[in-house]
């Protein structure tokens, strides 16, 4: 396959830069505690300085993998498939989700919303970033809003983002892991004063699982 042929398949979502895939327990947000198969897609230009998966940023570091193979492997493990990154909406998620839905599984995505929505999703977790704000269509469709709290200004940002999502979207504040000892008490106080919000913790890290 030539480079141009490979790029064409990537552009169509028929190949995806697969960083890793694994079966584990969803640790965050509404579905925490649920067994799920994670598919991590490479490529992200949002550039969060506290990102704990910086190795996902460069798509070219991860092998272009046939969407059919990703689906075939994923459905062997779980009825719930979580697509994450990187930023998965960098790529066309239509072919991947079409094939997953044909297998009768639940499709979840974790996204910054920096690119327009593609694919068919049963659950959309929107985790917006200041450096590259979400697209309007992602705000409208998000099932949960997960705002990461690194410093006090992030509470202001979280309220801005909450004003943009749909009325049924569940609102979460989650401590940035390296700052958790400092910000958890602040989050607890904030949620008690503003009970429209819920606390999300990275429980998989406490469980010492992927």
How far apart are the two ends of the chain, measured CA to CA in Å?
Answer: 34
Which stretches within 33-172 are classed as H helix?
A: 67-74, 94-102, 136-141, 153-162
The token pair at 112 is 């910054």
User: Cβ distance 72 to 118 under 8 Å?
Assistant: no
CA dist 122 and 163 (Å) reads: 22
Residues 6+ apart with CB under 8 A from 25: 32, 33, 34, 35, 36, 203, 204, 207, 209
User: Cβ distance 103 to 81 under 8 Å?
Assistant: no
Residue 123 assigned as binding residue: no
Residue 210 assigned as binding residue: yes
Work out the angle between the directed axes of helices 67-74 and 94-102 (0-180°, nearest 10).
Answer: 40
Residue 84 assigned as binding residue: yes
Residue 44 assigned as binding residue: yes
Residue 86 assigned as binding residue: yes
Residue 40 assigned as binding residue: yes
Residue 209 assigned as binding residue: no
Residue 84, number of CB atoms within 10 A of its CB: 20
Residue 147 assigned as binding residue: no
Residue 27 assigned as binding residue: yes
Residue 52 assigned as binding residue: yes
Residue 26 assigned as binding residue: yes
Residues 6+ apart with CB under 8 A from 160: none
Residue ranges of the annotated binding site are: 25-27, 40, 44, 48, 50-52, 84, 86, 127-129, 210
Residue ranges of the annotated binding site for substrate are: 25-27, 40, 84, 210
Residue ranges of the annotated binding site for S-adenosyl-L-methionine are: 50-52, 86, 127-129
Residue ranges of the annotated binding site for [4Fe-4S] cluster are: 44, 48, 51
């Amino acid at each position: 396959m030539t480079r141009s042929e490979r790029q064409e398949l990537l552009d169509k979502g028929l190949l995806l830069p697969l960083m890793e895939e694994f079966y584990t327990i969803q640790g965050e947000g509404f579905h925490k505690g649920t067994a799920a198969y994670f598919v991590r897609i490479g490529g992200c230009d949002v550039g969060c300085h506290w990102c704990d998966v910086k190795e996902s940023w460069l798509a070219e570091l991860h092998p272009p993998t046939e969407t059919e193979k990703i689906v075939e492997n994923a459905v062997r493990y779980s009825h719930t498939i979580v697509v994450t990154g990187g930023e998965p909406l960098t790529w066309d998620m239509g072919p991947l989700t079409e094939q997953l839905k044909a297998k009768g599984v639940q499709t979840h995505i974790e996204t910054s919303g920096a690119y327009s929505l593609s694919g068919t999703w049963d659950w959309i977790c929107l985790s917006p970033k200041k450096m590259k704000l979400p697209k309007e269509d992602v705000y409208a469709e998000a099932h949960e809003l997960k705002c990461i709290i690194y410093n006090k200004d992030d509470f202001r940002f979280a309220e801005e983002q909450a004003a943009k999502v749909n009325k049924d979207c569940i609102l979460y504040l989650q401590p940035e892991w390296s700052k958790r000892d400092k910000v958890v008490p602040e989050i607890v106080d904030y949620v008690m004063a503003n009970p429209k919000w819920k606390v999300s913790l990275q429980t998989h890290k406490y469980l010492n699982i992927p």
